[in-house]
Amino acid sequence: MIRWDTMPSPIGTLLLTGTKEGLTGLYMEAGGPDSSAVMSAVRDTTAFATAKQQLQEYFAGTRRTFDLPLQPEGTPFQVMVWDALREIPYGTTISYQELARRIGAEKAVRAVGAANGANPISIIIPCHRVIGADGSLTGYGGGIERKRWLLDHESGQRPLPL
């Protein structure tokens, strides 16, 4: 059974989805799942206590890594990209090209970008840490302003809540 709940954050309300086995989604207001996915789920305000605590610690600046069971659903290629995203250290960024190189798919930069964009567990699987080869901030499901906020936060700046 899929469960869901929300939590406030400095970048807006976050929607968490998951099962007993782990978190399946973490969405921002601007990049949530199809509403039918939540409509068929059950709201459970107690199911995500550990995830919420770790996210609060992240936003407070006291947590740099997450220790949560994750169950993202995707193709084997997408899961490989998402696993590689989790290896990008807090406070650092890499390019899509570098991400493709790290998974041994140097010629699949566009496919890597598409998999990055399909990441269902934002922040925890840190797709926001991937930027353009020229250092520019490129598309982000939660919006560029949230990507900028997350990167500023991780670089030690204290951005204002959105």
List the catalytic residues: 127
- The neighbour count for residue 147, using CB atoms within 10 Å, is 22
**Which amino acid, 24?**
T
Q: Residue 23 is inside which H or E element, if any?
A: strand 22-28
Give the Cα-Cα-Cα angle 67, 70, 72 (nearest 5 degrees): 150
Contact by Cβ (8 Å): 91, 155: yes
